[in-house]
């Protein structure tokens, strides 16, 4: 039942990373069809179906990152307050 993978197949799988052949063959955002080469094969480096989808994905990623950052800053501020540390005030150095 099992067979050895060819070097080409192994390379292809490595290029796909953790994704499967199916997920690699569709747009990472909308699941649409990826642009094809002139041979009708989906382009290996393509992740999105269109520049519009790529831009939208970047916008969404950045919006999510901004939300994550706001949460992280909130947590940091709370931790600093609990520890009695004020980043706005320079720490006094011990006298030598």
Nearest approach, Cβ of residue 53 and Zn ion (Å) = 3
Indicate which single residue of 24, 27, 34, 46 sits in contact with Zn ion (rule: CB under 5 A).
Answer: 27
For residue 86, count other CB atoms closer than 10 A to its CB: 10
CB of 22 or CB of 89, closer to Zn ion = 22
Nearest approach, Cβ of residue 30 and Zn ion (Å) = 3
Cβ atoms of residues 56 and 29 within 8 Å: yes
CA dihedral 72, 75, 76, 82 (to 10 degrees): 180
Residues within the interface to Zn ion (CB under 5 A)? 27, 29-30, 32, 49, 53
């Amino acid at each position: 039942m099992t067979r050895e993978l060819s070097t080409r197949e192994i390379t292809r799988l490595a290029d796909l990373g953790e994704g499967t052949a199916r997920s690699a063959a569709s747009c990472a955002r909308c699941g649409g069809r990826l642009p094809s080469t002139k041979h009708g094969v989906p382009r290996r480096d393509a992740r999105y179906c269109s520049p519009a989808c790529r831009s939208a994905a970047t916008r969404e990623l950045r919006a999510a990152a901004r939300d994550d950052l706001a949460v992280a800053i909130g947590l940091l501020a709370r931790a600093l307050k609990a520890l009695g540390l004020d980043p706005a005030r320079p720490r006094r150095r011990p006298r030598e």
